Amino acid sequence: GAVVSQHPSRVICKSGTSVKIECRSLDFQATTMFWYRQFPKQSLMLMATSNEGSKATYEQGVEKDKFLINHASLTLSTLTVTSAHPEDSSFYICSARDVQRASYEQYFGPGTRLTVT
Amino acid sequence: AQKITQTQPGMFVQEKEAVTLDCTYDTSDQSYGLFWYKQPSSGEMIFLIYQGSYDEQNATEGRYSLNFQKARKSANLVISASQLGDSAMYFCAMREVPRNPDKLIFGTGTRLQVFP
């Protein structure tokens, strides 16, 4: 149980285009999902907290107009990187909390590797 | 400021041996939680073990145990009987319960390589 999927696993896009990444909780409901960014050989940095039915909460320094987050249902959150630039190339990972289980545990998706050319 | 420090960028261990991965943390909160995650080359983050700041006993999960020394603010991960499949990046992370219980602060990670 507690599986989180992400789609796509890899994406290459041209500079200036937008890319949407989906995060799904497959076998549980997630009122809260989290989006992280990981640069090569570095740690994970929380970008934003996605709440079902309400606006996302962004961490300091993260441009909310560039990284659009939508949490339309209890099993789906999307991250859209708008007007992507090469510096947006990174590994994006989402995680989710199962509201039915212990409050502290987050289940991570497999990640999406974005390359902007 | 809240911070997680992992001072070992890389570690080597022979198969079947035990290995300790170091983690120290800094927080002014009394209530917090500490995690260890494993990240294989495929990228997914795999939850290994959790220790709450008020837990009196060290957490254990199979071959993983967390050596929690509160006064020293350390939460080292001990992997017993290492296996080749244990080769991966390992991240220590902290959550601060009263301030923002959902926010995980990660360390820079330790790359563990298990050799035959």
pLDDT over threshold 90, residue B10 = yes
As a whole number of Å, the end-to-end CA separation of chain A is 37
Quote the minimal CA–CA distance from B74 to chain A in Å. Answer: 19
**Mean pLDDT in residue range A80-90:** 96
Question: How do strand A32-38 and strand A90-97 relate by DSSP bridges?
Answer: antiparallel
Cα torsion B23, B27, B30, B35 to 10°: value is -30
Does the beta-carbon distance from B108 to A49 stay under 8 Å? no
List the single best residue of A43, A52, A71 to mutate versus B (max B Cβ within 10 A): A43
Closest residue on chain B to A43 (Cα)? B108
A35-82 tens-digit pLDDT:
999 988 888 999 999 988 888 999 999 999 999 999 988 899 999 999
Contact A30, A9 (CB under 8 A): no
Per-residue model confidence as pLDDT tens digits over B50-104: 999 999 899 999 999 999 999 999 999 999 999 999 999 999 999 877 767 778 9
Nearest neighbour of A91 by CB, restricted to B43, B47, B103: B43
| Cα B1 from Cα A77, distance rounded (Å) | 30
Would the CB atoms of A93 and B43 count as touching at under 8 Å? Answer: yes
A75 CA to centre of own chain? 13
Contact B109 A43 (CB under 8 A): yes
To the nearest whole Å, the CA of A16 is away from the closest chain B CA by 26
How many Å lie between the alpha carbon of A110 and the closest alpha carbon of chain B? 4
Q: What is the pLDDT of residue A52?
A: 85
A32, A93, A105: residue with CB nearest B47: A105
Q: What is the pLDDT of residue A98?
A: 79
| Cβ-based contacts of A93 with chain B (< 8 Å) | 43-45
- Looking at residue A101, the DSSP 8-state letter turns out to be S
Residue B69 is predicted with a pLDDT of 96
- Cα separation, A31 vs A35, whole angstroms: 14
pLDDT at A75: 92
Please judge whether B45 and A49 are an interchain contact, meaning their C-beta atoms are less than 8 angstroms apart: no
